[in-house]
C-alpha cells in the first residue's frame, strides 16, 4: 500500500491544448490560451482584470509593487501561512505584522486586526486557509476606515465563496495559485486578480517588465517603451494551454474533491465525538472548495505518532506551517502584534490527509488507518 499525500490530476486534454499552442506557433505569454484563462477567471471571480502569472508568489510580488509598499511600511497578515505571503512584502522593505488566527477556520482573527494598525500600516493580507473565506466584511470595513489596501492571498481559494462572493473577487487585489498541490493546476502557475479598476493598467505594465507592451499590442500607443518598474511575471502559452484544460473541468474537479472531503468528514464524526480529533469547521456563510482535509490531534506528541503510524501503513500525511513569526527570517523581518496562542497551539496539532481526485478507490483504507491511528 502506498497512498501519496498528493497526486496531480490530469483531465486528459492538457497535451491536446499544448499541441494546439504549438500548432498556433505562439509560445510566449499572452497568446490565445492565456486570454481564455484570464477571461475565465474574470467571469468566475468577478475580478475587473485577471492576469496569469508564473506563480502565486509572483502575483503577491506584483500586488506589493501595485500597493506602492515602501521600506518601513507595515503589512498585517497571519503568521500561520506560507512564506510567500510575507516574502512578497519583505522584498519591498516592508515589515510583516503577524496577527493570531481564529481557532475555528485558522484564518486571521479579524477582531485583532485593528489593534495591529499603526501610522505605518499600508495593507492587510487575509489568507483564505483551506479555501474557507476570511471574515471579509469586517476586514473590508477596517480597511475602508483606515484607508488600507486589502490583498487576498487566495492561493487555496479558487471556486470558493464567502457570503455569495467568490474568493479573490472581494479585496482590492488577490493572488491565486495553480501549483500542482492546489485544486486547479499547471505545475507552477498563478494569477493576479485586480478588483480596483484604478490599478488595472499599472498591473499590466508591472507584469510586462515595466513596459507598455500590452497597450502597444492593442494599438493604444504607437511605440512600446519602459514606463515603470516591473519584471517578467508572465507564464508561457504552453503553461496556459495546460491550465485551460483544467479550467474547463474546474466544476467537476471541485465536485469530486468535495465528495472526498465529505466522505472523510462523515467517517470521522465519531472520533470527534469521542474527543480523539477535531474536524475542520466551515462557517455557514462560506462555500469551500475542498482544498484540504485536516484534523487537529490533541497535541504535538500525538500528532508525531499519528503521522508515523500512517506512514508505516503506507499512507502519507503531512503538517504545516512553521509559524512565520517564529521562523529565522520572520524574526528578522517581521514583528508580532498581540499573542500567538492559537497559531502556536494549532500548528503543533494539525495534520493534513491525502486529498486528490482519483483516490476514491483507496479512501476507505485511509479512513480505516486514520481511525486506528487516532485511538
Ligand atoms: C501555495 C501557496 C502560495 C504560493 O503559491 P505558488 O503558486 O507556489 O507561488 C502562497 N500562499 C499560500 C497560502 C499558499 O497556499
Q: Please state, as a whole number, how many other Cβ atoms lie within 10 Å of the Cβ of residue 32.
A: 16
Domain hosting residue 95, numbered range: 14-248
How do residues 295-348 score in pLDDT, each as one tens digit? 999 999 999 999 999 999 999 999 999 999 999 999 999 999 999 999 999 999
Task: Dump the DSSP string for 129-198.
Answer: GGGPPP-HHHHHHHHHHHT-EEEEE-TT-TT-EETTEETTSSSSEEEEE--TTSSS--SS-EEEEE-SGG
In total, how many domains does the chain have?
2
CA 111, chain centre distance (Å)? 22
The CA distance from 325 to 92, in Å, is: 18
Which residue is it, cell 485558522? 106
Pocket residue to mutate for ligand 1, from 63, 83, 101, 179, most atoms within 8 A of Cβ = 179
Instruction: Tell me the CATH number at 319.
Output: 3.90.1150.10
Instruction: Tell me the CATH number at 127.
Output: 3.40.640.10
- pLDDT > 90? residue 170: yes
Which pLDDT score, from 0 to 100, does residue 87 have?
98
From the CA atom positions of the chain, what is the Rg in Å? 21
3-state secondary structure 254-280: HHHHHHHHHHHHHHCHHHHHCCCCECC
Instruction: Enumerate residues lining ligand 1, CB below 6 A.
Output: 55-57, 81-82, 84-85, 127, 153, 155-156, 177, 179, 190
pTM of the model: 0.98
Which pLDDT score, from 0 to 100, does residue 186 have?
98
Minimum CA distance residue for ligand 1 atom 8: 179
Percent of the chain with pLDDT over 70: 100
Same-domain check for residues 244 and 259: no
Which pLDDT score, from 0 to 100, does residue 1 have?
82
Contact 81, 151 (CB under 8 A): no
Same-domain check for residues 255 and 203: no
DSSP code at position 81: S
Minimum CA distance residue for ligand 1 atom 6: 56
Pocket residue to mutate for ligand 1, from 107, 152, 156, most atoms within 8 A of Cβ = 156
How do residues 139-167 score in pLDDT, each as one tens digit? 999 999 999 999 999 999 999 999 999 99
Same-domain check for residues 51 and 197: yes
Residue 5: inside a domain: no
The CA distance from 45 to 199, in Å, is: 17
Which pLDDT score, from 0 to 100, does residue 106 have?
98
Extract the C-alpha cell encoding 373.
491511528
How do residues 184-221 score in pLDDT, each as one tens digit? 999 999 999 999 999 999 999 999 999 999 898 899 99
Which pLDDT score, from 0 to 100, does residue 141 have?
98
Residue 149: inside a domain: yes
- pLDDT > 90? residue 94: yes
Pocket residue to mutate for ligand 1, from 60, 106, 125, 155, most atoms within 8 A of Cβ = 155
Same-domain check for residues 161 and 254: no
What is the mean pLDDT of the segment spanning 353-367?
98
The CA distance from 275 to 298, in Å, is: 8
Taking each continuous run of H as one helix and of E as one strand, the counts in the chain are 15, 13
Same-domain check for residues 225 and 258: no
CA–centroid distance, residue 88 to ligand 1 (Å) = 11
Residue 130: inside a domain: yes
Average pLDDT, the chain: 97
Residue 9: inside a domain: no
How do residues 250-293 score in pLDDT, each as one tens digit? 999 999 999 999 999 999 999 999 999 999 999 999 999 999 99
Same-domain check for residues 123 and 51: yes
Residue 180: inside a domain: yes
Amino acid at each position: 500500500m502506498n497512498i501519496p499525500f498528493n497526486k496531480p490530476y490530469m483531465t486528459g486534454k492538457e497535451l491536446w491544448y499544448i499541441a494546439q499552442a504549438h500548432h498556433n506557433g505562439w509560445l510566449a505569454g499572452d497568446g490565445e490560451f492565456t486570454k481564455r484563462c484570464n477571461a475565465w477567471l474574470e467571469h468566475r471571480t468577478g475580478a475587473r482584470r485577471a492576469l496569469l502569472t508564473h506563480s502565486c508568489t509572483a502575483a503577491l510580488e506584483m500586488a506589493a509593487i501595485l500597493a506602492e509598499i515602501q521600506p518601513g511600511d507595515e503589512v498585517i497578515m497571519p503568521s500561520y501561512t506560507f512564506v510567500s505571503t510575507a516574502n512578497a512584502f519583505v522584498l519591498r522593505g516592508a515589515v510583516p505584522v503577524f496577527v493570531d488566527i481564529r481557532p475555528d477556520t485558522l484564518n486571521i482573527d479579524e477582531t485583532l486586526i485593528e489593534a495591529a494598525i499603526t501610522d505605518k500600516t499600508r495593507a492587510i493580507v487575509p489568507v483564505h486557509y483551506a479555501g474557507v473565506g476570511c471574515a471579509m466584511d469586517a476586514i473590508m470595513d477596517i480597511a475602508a476606515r483606515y484607508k488600507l489596501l486589502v490583498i487576498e492571498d487566495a492561493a487555496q481559494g479558487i471556486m470558493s465563496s464567502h457570503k455569495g462572493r467568490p474568493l479573490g473577487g472581494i479585496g482590492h487585489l488577490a493572488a491565486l495559485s495553480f501549483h500542482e498541490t492546489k485544486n486547479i493546476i499547471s505545475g507552477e502557475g498563478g494569477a493576479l486578480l485586480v478588483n480596483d479598476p484604478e490599478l488595472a493598467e499599472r498591473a499590466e505594465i508591472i507584469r510586462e517588465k515595466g513596459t507598455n507592451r500590452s497597450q502597444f499590442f492593442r494599438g493604444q500607443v504607437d511605440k512600446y517603451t519602459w514606463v515603470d518598474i516591473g519584471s517578467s511575471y508572465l507564464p508561457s502559452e504552453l503553461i496556459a494551454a495546460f491550465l485551460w484544460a483544467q479550467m474547463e473541468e474546474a466544476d467537476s474537479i471541485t465536485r469530486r474533491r468535495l465528495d472526498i472531503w465529505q466522505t472523510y468528514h462523515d467517517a470521522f464524526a465519531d472520533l470527534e465525538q469521542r474527543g480523539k480529533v477535531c474536524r475542520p469547521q466551515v462557517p455557514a456563510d462560506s462555500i469551500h472548495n475542498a482544498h484540504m482535509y485536516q484534523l487537529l490531534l490533541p497535541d504535538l506528541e500525538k500528532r508525531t505518532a499519528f503521522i508515523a503510524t500512517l506512514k508505516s501503513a503506507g499512507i502519507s500525511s503531512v503538517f504545516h506551517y512553521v509559524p512565520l513569526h517564529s521562523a529565522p527570517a520572520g524574526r528578522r523581518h517581521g514583528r508580532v502584534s498581540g499573542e500567538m496562542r492559537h497559531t502556536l497551539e494549532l500548528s503543533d496539532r494539525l495534520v493534513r490527509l491525502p486529498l486528490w481526485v482519483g483516490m476514491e478507490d483507496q479512501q476507505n483504507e485511509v479512513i480505516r488507518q486514520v481511525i486506528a491511528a487516532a485511538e
